[in-house]
Amino acid sequence: MLHSKHITLVKDKTEAEATNTQFLVNRGVIYRIWLTFPAGCKGLVKARIYHEGHPFLPVDENAYIRGDNYVFEYPVMYEIKGAPELITIKSWNEDETHDHTIDVQFLIIPKAWVQPVGAYEGIIAALKSLFVRS
């Protein structure tokens, strides 16, 4: 399931005045997160993602994501075990002149779709050993 939001941030705000945008997400695995900072943000629009009130991306409470004319794509592979759970985007705009809008998307896939890295090769090797004799 793809969750998507446009977040409009008014000009001249501090982290203490940040906007909190919330997603309720169901069980599955967060497979990808995209944060889009359009041209003109100039690194003055900042965001941090929380899962159930704890810093998630970036993990450090004092860090944040910022950009200009850039789409950040994060491969995550993080399991959501309960349903629903709360993802919060804390974002603010330090630009003194212009409001800005950022886009946030989460792709959550069923846990059954996630195959551990290398598992296919291991399965094929095991099957070959059953049928191929040296």
pLDDT greater at residue 77 or residue 21: 21
pLDDT of residue 74: 95
pLDDT of residue 134: 53
Angstrom CA distances, 10 to 36, 53, 93, 100, 122, stand at: 17, 23, 6, 7, 52
User: Where in the sequence is the domain holding 36, given as residue range(s)?
Assistant: 2-131
pLDDT of residue 122: 65
- How many C-beta atoms lie closer than 10 Å to residue 67's C-beta? 18
Find the CATH number of the domain harbouring 25: 2.60.120.380
pLDDT(114) > 60:
yes
Place 8 in a pLDDT band, splitting at 50, 70 and 90. very high
What are the pLDDT digits (tens) for 83-98? Answer: 799 999 999 999 999 9
pLDDT(15) > 70:
yes
The total number of structural domains that make up the chain: 1
